[in-house]
Chains A and B, each alone.
Chain A
Amino acid sequence: MDAKLLLSVDIGSTYTKGGLFRLEGAELRLVGREVIPTTVDDLGRGFTRVREAVLSRHAGAAAASAVPVYWSSSARGGLKIAAVGLTPDLTLSVARMAATSAGGKVIRAYSYELAPEDLADLRDIAPDIILFTGGTDGGNSRVVLHNAAQLAGLETPAVILYAGNRKVRDQVAAILRGRDVALAGNVMPEVGTIDIEPARDVIRRVFLERIVDGKGLSSVVTEAGREPLPTPLAVFELARTIAESVPGWEDFALIDMGGATTDFYSHTRSFHGGDAIILRGLVEPTLKRTVEGDLGLRVSAEALFRSEAAFLEGRLRAAGADTAPLKSYVEEVSRRTDFLPADPAGQSFDRLLASACVRAASIRHAGVIQRVFTPQGGFEVQRGKDLRQVRRLVGSGGFLAGETVADLLLEACAPGTDDPDLRHLTPVSPACYADAEYLIPLLGNLAADFPGAAARAAVAGLKPLTPRTN
């Protein structure tokens, strides 16, 4: 019997990648892969070219029509979500979590009553989905109904997904009748209880059924014979199956750094307890993704230069260098987003910018622990997610995939703070890996149908990195 061949394609904002895999028993093996620049004007053209290149070079005698195609896309800005919540620290914070965990990018977030200027803003930023939350089940309905009435009058092609107070769900649906509406369970049914799976599931379905068309992907759906996944969702699901099916990978993190964003995924228990540690705020999910829109090496280089100025200046000063050359480099690469430096100066600038992205993405993803002194003695108060149990750290995306030593990834670990009583809960000393063949998104596409095999193949394809020895 012939081993089964599977093709996986990822249409990224810069490159379109294709990989051919062979299913041998319960294992997946890479047969060959191809990469071309994404054809931004017509995404389907690049898809066809990659598909044909992979099949003609690697599939041998197999009939092209007999090879199933799985695919994902993050082109044209990915899946843009505007989040609406009630209080910033509760429902709005959970709405952000749901949106990023579904592979979306939160382009704007609104709390309390939507004001007329918020509606004008929503019209201008044109999100794909408005994730509308607020109130616990049986809780606040006043603000929720106000916001429903506001959204009913908004001119937008966006799908409005209501995932707030269940008690007024029917009323909200009635107010929004005639609009493109989807409904999901409340993301925060009770204060402190997070339930993002139902909303995640609906976001995925909405992406497939209603958004794919608008991204110019319908011709690809016809050619592939299958609906796509948003790329970050494919990676998210692969991360879940790696943690669940590969021994020793229960606690790990993955950093995907690109020109525009840095994505951080972690799979580890959020809070480990202990008598002297008190958790404040929400218990974050075991599998979590964050997206940092101001941390990137090209499109976002200027934003990075601003938000991480103190770190960048500190590193340059320590090396006896001035910031002016870095500033002009940043201005240059943010205009020429496909620029790859050939000279050592440019390469070391990229490395420095990458360090800033890795470090900041890790600090923002992780929580903090603060030592407090109370009349009952010293306690530690944890806020956010504890990543100290993370044993393995994977770098993916163009720059990190090409790393040969662990030093850059280790920037994610335990950066100091100015306050001796405050610690970031970043990974401590994880084993580091590079996704050298850039297989993670490709195997992510296969994770739903072949979970264990995709997870094992992803881990087998990683290159272990060790710190540079001086």
Chain B
Amino acid sequence: MDAPRIILGVIGADCHSVGNKILDAYFTEAGFHVVNLGVMVSQDEFLDAAVESDAAAILVSSLYGHGLIDCEGLRQKAVERGLDRILLYVGGNLVVGKTPYEEVERKFKAMGFDRVFSPRVDLADVVKMLRADIEARKG
């Protein structure tokens, strides 16, 4: 069976590139086919790449605190583009200030993201969740 395809990138006007490279290496090592779009990726670029690659998930990073505004509407656009079943993950320093993580998670889930991660998450856990979520979506 082919390795599941995932789209990776840092959204908006965010140029933080180091974490992006670490995620690319980690998920590739974990057996995913990673399509890495790098930094400063627009919503449309994520969706175009997902359509062409038939991706199982889009993993959005945001490190500069503007994640809410950058990610708004991504789920609706994905549905409009025919990506009804795609998994949307988001992680990083998603909002400026000291908003509790639970509050951040609630906001992003309300926007249609399946999983929301703080910068302190263990990537091994993310890999496990991603595999399970992809398997569940297939059914």
Contact = CB atoms under 8 A, between A and B. Distances in A.
Contacts of A136: 35, 52-54
Contacts of B66: 375
A374 B51 contact: no
Contacts of A89: 44-45, 48
Contact of B52 (A86, A278, A372, A375): A86
A375 B64 contact: yes
A139 interface: yes
A163 B44 CA distance: 24
B15 A379 contact: yes
Interface in A188-204: 188, 190-192
Interface in B11-41: 13-16, 33, 35, 37-41
A135 B52 CA distance: 4
Nearest to B15: A376
A281 to B, nearest CB: 8
A379 B53 CA distance: 29
A105 to B, nearest CB: 25
Contact of A138 (B33, B38, B39, B51): B33
A86 B35 contact: no
A154 B11 CA distance: 41
A188 B53 CA distance: 10
A281 B40 CA distance: 11
A167 B15 CA distance: 34
A140 interface: yes
Contacts of B51: 86-87, 140
A90 B65 contact: no
B122 interface: no
Most chain A CB within a 10 A radius of its CB, from B7, B39, B40, B52: B52
Contact of B39 (A141, A142, A278): A278
B132 to A, nearest CB: 22
A91 B52 contact: yes
B2 A138 contact: yes
A134 B51 CA distance: 10
A139 B5 CA distance: 8
B104 interface: no
A90 B48 contact: yes
B: interface residue count bin:
20 to 34
Contacts of B40: 278, 280, 379, 381
B37 A191 contact: yes
Nearest to A164: B52
B127 interface: no
A135 B48 CA distance: 10
Interface in A372-387: 372, 374-376, 379, 381
B64 A191 contact: no
B134 interface: no
Contacts, number: 74
Contacts of B54: 135-136, 138-142
A277 to B, nearest CB: 11
B5 A375 contact: no
Nearest to A375: B64
A87 B52 contact: yes
Contacts of B74: none
Contact of A376 (B33, B48, B53, B64): B64
Given A374-B13, A374-B15, A140 B64 contact: no
Contacts of A376: 14-16, 64
A89 B43 CA distance: 13
Interface in A131-179: 134-136, 138-142
B49 interface: yes
A374 B14 contact: yes
A281 B54 CA distance: 19
Most chain B CB within a 10 A radius of its CB, from A134, A191, A192, A376: A191
Given A135-B54, A138-B5, A138-B54, A191 B35 contact: yes
Contacts of B48: 87, 89-90, 191
Interface string A270-281: 000000001011
A91 B39 CA distance: 21
Given A280-B40, A280-B45, A140 B13 contact: no
A140 B14 contact: no
Given A191-B35, A375-B64, A90 B16 contact: no
Interface string B44-68: 1100110111110000000011100
B65 A191 contact: no
Contacts of B33: 138
Contacts of B55: 139
Nearest to B66: A375
B79 to A, nearest CB: 15
A138 B32 CA distance: 13
A278 B10 CA distance: 13
A90 B49 contact: yes
Interface in B61-99: 64-66
A381 B40 CA distance: 9
B49 A191 contact: yes
Given A138-B33, A139-B5, A191-B37, 12 more contacts: A90-B48, A140-B51, A191-B35, A191-B49, A278-B40, A280-B40, A280-B41, A372-B13, A374-B15, A375-B13, A375-B65, A381-B40
Interface of B: 2, 5, 7, 13-16, 33, 35, 37-42, 44-45, 48-49, 51-55, 64-66
7 contacts: A135-B54, A191-B35, A375-B64, A375-B66, A376-B14, A376-B15, A376-B64
